[in-house]
Chain A
Amino acid sequence: MENTIVKAENYNSYFGDNHVVKDVNISINKNEVIAVMGPSGCGKTTFLRGINRMHELIPGATSTGKILLDGENVYDMNAIYVRCKIGMVFQRPNPFPNMSIYENVVAGYLLNGLKISKAEKDVIVEKSLTSAALWKEVKDSLHKKGTFLSGGQQQRLCIARAIAMEPELILFDEPTSALDPISTSSVEALFHELKANYTLIIVTHNMQQAARVSDRTAFFYLGELVEFDDTKQMFTNPKDTRTQNYITGRFS
């Protein structure tokens, strides 16, 4: 399909001899929200980190197979270029503590030493913070440290930081697991808005979250991609009994 943005072909990941992601084939369309769920240790985070080549930063981690971003294998590209094109948001909000909110948003440019004018920066900051539904809350305190914000605001700041680089794809690694319910719903509401311009892949422990926010859901179990289908289909009539057992909480 020409609409495909990311495609994994026979993708495998290893930590040393430990085979954590097994022969995954998946094809993700533009402007979709994909939830990746599964029990702990099922390889979902490892798969996610394989997409923007963060996986290989861990000593002993290797992978085989292809991950195609717009038809091009990311493992044939420069890792730094790949990570510029694919944004990532982590489990714990991690704004740079030495930077202000403003600097945090343009951190991707500052840290990469890309020279951009103040006016351009202003535009990027406002645009990204607006997209991350944070502009109204922080526009008067842009030069305060990012770490003074609440957890949910920090996480949205991290999303703004990822958006600022204008990625095609944003990966979320359990983005709300360290947040309280109110902050969680503020971040979840954001997913729906981001969908218009970006493709989101969200790894989550929380099944309800997967159900609420995603268009399609992938279920990983023991490193295998068990099922990948429409979220509605998945939560009303899953095809695989393992999926059924997982979402109904019947895993022994």
Chain B
Amino acid sequence: MEARIGTRNTKSMIFKGVIMFFAFLITVPLIIILLYIIKQGVGQVNWHFLTHVPAPVGEVGGGIINALAGSFIMVLIASIISIPVGMLAGIYLSENPNTKLAHYSGLCVDILQGVPSIVVGIVVYFWLVKPLGTFSAISGSIALAIMMLPIVIRSTEQTLKLLPDSLKEAALSLGVPYHRVILKVIIPCGFSGILSGIMLSIARVIGETAPLLFTAFGNPYLSGAINKPMESLPHLIFTYATSPYDDWHNLAWGASFILLMFVLILNIVTKVITRKWKIQL
């Protein structure tokens, strides 16, 4: 018996060691990616890089202002479309979890989350780009909005479901009408959770290339017209990294670095916000 206890102890020690090793292992890829991109990209970044459009082949310099502005505009429009829709749908799902509608729309949200981004892109291409006859920023935004929706819906729903019913009852018992209960009590109380869901969804779509390939396409010039093609960071990286020119490769590295930093900062800010604004229940 004692011998067996010894074996058991050894086994559990080994098991502990293995899981620790893998827990450590998953940090390795991120560290390698970060280091590599910083090494390649940080040198490219300067004021000129951030404020100029890409230079034609053979010219020195050039920047990514067109992609920065494009990504910003498209994500902004996507957010304007998806956040209200997603939040309202999320509220319905959390408020009426046992209805048929909630069951089926919840299912749809799950499936939508699993739809490959390239498929979203191609669908929007056939819906919008073809009928309109041109690639446009707005169709890119819509594709991104479709990608954001499930994340916003689910995070809203999960956050609101965690709020105790007593909160709603407290407001209702004061004679507050239902819509005011939702807008003035439920949403403010779940705000940090909803906000972090929104930030994560932005971080997720800002790096999406596939839905933009067929929709916003790309534009080597700075453009603010949403009915015209528009450049975006991931698309710029895609185009310039696959080109045969070293100058352009450097441009892609720099853009990658900027994109990565952006996503990193968004994630960190989200964590800080959730911690700071976390409402004590």
CA distance A56 to B180 in the complex (A): 18
Residue-wise interface mask of B (89-102) relative to A, using a CB-CB cutoff of 8 A (1 in contact, 0 not) = 00000000010000
Most chain B beta carbons < 10 A, residue from A90, A111, A145: A111
B271: chain A residues within 8 A (beta carbon): none
Say whether, besides A84-B174, A94-B167, A145 and B181 are in contact (CB < 8 Å). Answer: no
Tell me whether A16 is interfacial, beta carbon within 8 Å: no
Residue from the list B169, B185, B279, B280 in contact with A90, Cβ < 8 A: B169
Tell me whether A110 is interfacial, beta carbon within 8 Å: yes
Do residues A94 and B166 form an inter-chain contact, with CB atoms below 8 A?
yes
Residue from the list A94, A158, A162 in contact with B164, Cβ < 8 A: A94
Say whether, besides A98-B185, A98-B188, A111-B180, A83 and B174 are in contact (CB < 8 Å). Answer: yes
CA distance A95 to B181 in the complex (A): 14
Q: Which residue of B lies closest to A89 (CB)?
A: B173
B177: chain A residues within 8 A (beta carbon): 80, 112
Do residues B98 and A59 form an inter-chain contact, with CB atoms below 8 A?
yes
Residue-wise interface mask of B (128-146) relative to A, using a CB-CB cutoff of 8 A (1 in contact, 0 not) = 0000000000000000000
Tell me whether A92 is interfacial, beta carbon within 8 Å: yes
Residue-wise interface mask of A (41-73) relative to B, using a CB-CB cutoff of 8 A (1 in contact, 0 not) = 000000000001010010100000000000000
CA distance A49 to B3 in the complex (A): 64
Residue from the list A54, A97, A148 in contact with B281, Cβ < 8 A: A97
Q: Which residue of A lies closest to B181 (CB)?
A: A111
**How close is B275's CB to chain A, nearest CB, in angstroms?**
15
Main secondary structure of the interface of B (DSSP, over half): helix
Do residues A83 and B172 form an inter-chain contact, with CB atoms below 8 A?
yes
CA distance A80 to B101 in the complex (A): 27
B280: chain A residues within 8 A (beta carbon): 97, 145, 147-148
CA distance A94 to B184 in the complex (A): 15
Do residues B281 and A96 form an inter-chain contact, with CB atoms below 8 A?
no
Tell me whether B269 is interfacial, beta carbon within 8 Å: no
Say whether, besides A59-B98, A110-B184, A111-B180, A97 and B175 are in contact (CB < 8 Å). Answer: no
A110: chain B residues within 8 A (beta carbon): 184
Tell me whether A33 is interfacial, beta carbon within 8 Å: no
Q: Which residue of B lies closest to A97 (CB)?
A: B279
Number of chain B interface residues as a range: 20 to 34
Residue from the list A59, A94, A95, A161 in contact with B169, Cβ < 8 A: A94
B174: chain A residues within 8 A (beta carbon): 83-84, 87, 107-108, 111-112, 161-162, 165
Do residues A113 and B180 form an inter-chain contact, with CB atoms below 8 A?
yes
CA distance A9 to B246 in the complex (A): 88
Tell me whether B205 is interfacial, beta carbon within 8 Å: no
A57: chain B residues within 8 A (beta carbon): 169, 172
Tell me whether B124 is interfacial, beta carbon within 8 Å: no
Tell me whether A179 is interfacial, beta carbon within 8 Å: no
Say whether, besides A96-B167, A97-B189, A98-B185, A81 and B98 are in contact (CB < 8 Å). Answer: no
Number of interface residues of A (CB under 8 A): 33
Q: Which residue of B lies closest to A108 (CB)?
A: B174
Q: Which residue of B lies closest to A90 (CB)?
A: B166
CA distance A84 to B181 in the complex (A): 14
Do residues B173 and A83 form an inter-chain contact, with CB atoms below 8 A?
yes
Tell me whether A88 is interfacial, beta carbon within 8 Å: yes
Q: Which residue of B lies closest to A145 (CB)?
A: B280
Tell me whether B170 is interfacial, beta carbon within 8 Å: yes
A147: chain B residues within 8 A (beta carbon): 279-281
Tell me whether B34 is interfacial, beta carbon within 8 Å: no
**How close is A91's CB to chain B, nearest CB, in angstroms?**
8
**How close is A190's CB to chain B, nearest CB, in angstroms?**
18
**How close is B86's CB to chain A, nearest CB, in angstroms?**
21
Q: Which residue of B lies closest to A79 (CB)?
A: B175
Residue-wise interface mask of B (155-167) relative to A, using a CB-CB cutoff of 8 A (1 in contact, 0 not) = 0000000001011
Q: Which residue of A lies closest to B277 (CB)?
A: A98
Say whether, besides A96-B185, A97-B279, A98-B185, A52 and B180 are in contact (CB < 8 Å). Answer: no
CA distance A87 to B175 in the complex (A): 9
Q: Which residue of A lies closest to B189 (CB)?
A: A98
Do residues A92 and B166 form an inter-chain contact, with CB atoms below 8 A?
yes
Tell me whether B38 is interfacial, beta carbon within 8 Å: no
Q: Which residue of B lies closest to A93 (CB)?
A: B166
Measured CB to CB, the residues of B under 8 A from A are 98, 164, 166-167, 169-177, 180-181, 184-185, 188-189, 191, 279-281
25 contacts between A and B (CB under 8 A): A54-B169, A57-B169, A80-B176, A82-B175, A84-B174, A87-B173, A87-B174, A88-B169, A90-B166, A92-B166, A94-B164, A94-B170, A96-B170, A96-B185, A98-B188, A108-B176, A111-B180, A111-B184, A111-B185, A112-B174, A112-B175, A112-B176, A145-B280, A147-B280, A161-B174
Q: A57-B172, A97-B280 are in contact. List 16 more A-B contacts (CB 8 A).
A: A52-B173, A80-B175, A80-B176, A80-B177, A84-B174, A90-B166, A90-B169, A94-B164, A95-B170, A96-B185, A96-B189, A98-B185, A98-B189, A111-B176, A147-B280, A162-B173
